[in-house]
Amino acid sequence: MTAHDVGAHDAAAQGAAALTTLRVGLIGAGERVELALHLPAGARVVAVADPSPRGRAHARDLFGADVTVETDHRRLLELDLDAVMVFSPDHLHAGHAVDALRAGASVFVEKPLATTTADCDRVLATARETGSRLYVGHNLRHAPVVRTMRRLIADGEIGEVKAVWCRHFVGHGGDYYFTDWHADRRNTTSLLLQKGAHDLDVIHWLAGGYTRHVTALGAEMVYRHVTDRRERPEERMGDWFDADTHWPPGSLTGLNPTIDVEDVSMLTARLDNGVLASYEQCHFTPDYWRNYTVIGDRGRLENFGDLDGAVIRVWNSRRSGYREDADRVVEIEAEDGTHGGADPALVAEFVRFARQGGATETSAVAAREAVAAGTAATESLRGDGTPVDVEPLPADLAAYFDRGQRELEVR
């Protein structure tokens, strides 16, 4: 048995840990830190780090005066923490995750895992080297609409999956991604990666494979023409977001000084199992939802809506013209909580994993593969659209994660 096995998987230690409170530290206290409000009984926020006064004040409001609040995440990591959740901007994820893994904590990283494939691989390698548990917050894997599509596929409703197409209409795109740090490619690489990491992961999950070749086109069509710009260092999205106004998109004001990410992008991909995929993302549509179409060799399915009240239609009995009733219509009932109940389920899974390890619906390797596909697609669209290959994760590292983040036992 190696030192890693002893550190991360000792059964007696797990039993004892289950009886004690899980001490959780948070890095970054902006909009998304509210995910930590879903921590279940037995897990408690004890410290938060954020360099901005606004973030630190928000942390005290949310988690109380007893919580230790730091400006530098390294001070936070000096505390005796069992788990760390990373909610900082995307380009900081890798550094924060590596530091937290080295501090011995179980680590939750918001998606995307990082903004480059090399940084993803660095985080995964550090998890292996330290034996600390790594979890990436791909909440869509807990979304009822995605889980239902996956179940229908597993039940054989459409036969063997051959193609997956996803159209993502980002109706609030200007408010969400062009008014702050997201609009600057130094922080995100691209929105095809930033926002698309969710969908690329779902495409991979539904298809049962990972992208190996990708080609893409994209453009800055609307928001770059908006000349009303300003810095908003102490503001957060809730300060400017308004679902009922801000239309048409080009009328938005106060956008980020730097805008150099595409507001429409489209990719096609070939996966390692031969499945073909396409993904289209637009940030100036009037409506906000995702449409997945999955085509198998015995039928196809498609979702209409993606939250409460959504339906999945399955056509699989014969050829026909358009039939709205389809052969099967499955209604989606969202659970309580943000993102259709996906967020509470995500946090509950992380806490269970931090305590006990074991299998999870989310996957650190899949999170890496979503970033790898997104960065390769960005390279293609910022070049001349020619295909870019995606290198797989080194096999020994992939095997470590396939074993549930365990080293091979040496007897």
Ligand X SMILES: NC(=O)c1ccc[n+]([C@@H]2O[C@H](COP(=O)([O-])OP(=O)(O)OC[C@H]3O[C@@H](n4cnc5c(N)ncnc54)[C@H](O)[C@@H]3O)[C@@H](O)[C@H]2O)c1
Which spans of this chain sit near ligand X (rule: CB under 6 A)? 27-32, 49-52, 55, 73, 87-90, 92, 110-111, 137, 139, 180, 236-237, 339
- From the CB of 339, what's the least distance to ligand X, in Å? 6
- From the CB of 113, what's the least distance to ligand X, in Å? 10
| Residue among 90 and 369 whose Cβ is closer to ligand X | 90
What are the strands of the beta sheet with 311-315, ordered from one edge? 328-331, 311-315, 299-304, 289-296, 161-169, 276-282, 264-271, 211-219, 388-389
Report the distance separating Cα 340 and Cα 136, nearest Å. Answer: 19
Residue number of the CB atom closest to ligand X: 30
- From the CB of 95, what's the least distance to ligand X, in Å? 8
Report the distance separating Cα 355 and Cα 197, nearest Å. Answer: 27
Return the CA Rg of the chain: 21
- From the CB of 247, what's the least distance to ligand X, in Å? 22
- From the CB of 175, what's the least distance to ligand X, in Å? 12
| Residue among 71 and 317 whose Cβ is closer to ligand X | 71
Amino acid type, 253: T
| Residue among 371 and 393 whose Cβ is closer to ligand X | 371
Half-sphere exposure of 295 (CA within 13 A, CB side): 9
| Residue among 8 and 97 whose Cβ is closer to ligand X | 97
| Residue among 15 and 51 whose Cβ is closer to ligand X | 51
- From the CB of 87, what's the least distance to ligand X, in Å? 5
| Residue among 30 and 171 whose Cβ is closer to ligand X | 30
Report the distance separating Cα 146 and Cα 163, nearest Å. Answer: 16
Report the distance separating Cα 379 and Cα 218, nearest Å. Answer: 11
Report the distance separating Cα 78 and Cα 94, nearest Å. Answer: 19
Query: What long-range pairs does 55-60 form, CB within 8 A, spacing at least 24?
Result: 55/28, 55/29, 55/30, 56/29, 58/29, 58/30, 58/33, 58/236, 59/26, 59/29, 59/33
- From the CB of 230, what's the least distance to ligand X, in Å? 15
Question: Structure tokens of 228?
Answer: 């009303």
Q: Are the C-beta atoms of 101 and 127 separated by less than 8 Å?
A: yes
- From the CB of 234, what's the least distance to ligand X, in Å? 9
Amino acid type, 102: R
| Residue among 145 and 388 whose Cβ is closer to ligand X | 145
Helix residue spans in 21-92 (DSSP H): 53-63, 73-76
- From the CB of 147, what's the least distance to ligand X, in Å? 16
| Residue among 137 and 299 whose Cβ is closer to ligand X | 137
b/e burial code for range 291-325 (CB count within 10 A of at least 16 → b): ebebbbeebbbbbeebeeebebbbbbeeeeeeeee
Half-sphere exposure of 191 (CA within 13 A, CB side): 30
The position carrying tokens 């106004």 is 245
| Residue among 77 and 326 whose Cβ is closer to ligand X | 77
